[in-house]
């Protein structure tokens, strides 16, 4: 078991910025590793984070109103798998 709150790292592998017409920003995080009791374990998996769009701006066809940036918040739960079998 990997204890909750174990530090993990990832790499932003794709991103878009927020855009006009209500389009939200998005990015993909590819997981790299997690540290458990000083031991590093490789991870695999990907998570896509999307900002909230601005539907009103899109419906009105406004080029002034944009969507929101994508943000991951501290404590947000995402899924990743270990890239190798871990014996304990």
28-37 burial string, b = 16+ CB within 10 Å, else e? ebebebbebe
3-state secondary structure of 57: helix
Tokens matching residue 63: 């080029």
Mean pLDDT (whole number) for 57-82: 72
pTM higher than 0.85, yes or no?
A: no
pLDDT in tens, 19-54: 666 678 899 999 999 999 999 999 999 999 988 765
Per-domain boundaries in the chain = 8-75
Of 6-15, 40-49, 61-70, give the lowest mean pLDDT range: 61-70
How far apart are the C-alpha atoms of 36 and 5, rounded to whole Å? 10
Supply angle C-alpha 54, 56, 60, rounded to 5: 125
């Amino acid at each position: 078991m990997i204890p909750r709150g174990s530090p993990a790292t990832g790499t932003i592998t794709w991103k878009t910025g927020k855009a006009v017409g209500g389009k939200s920003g998005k990015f993909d995080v590819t997981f790299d590793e997690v540290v458990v009791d000083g031991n590093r374990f490789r991870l695999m998996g990907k998570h896509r984070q999307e900002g909230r769009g601005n539907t009103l701006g899109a419906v009105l066809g406004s080029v002034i109103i944009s969507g929101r940036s994508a943000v991951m918040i501290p404590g947000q739960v995402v899924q990743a798998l270990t890239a190798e079998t871990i014996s304990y």
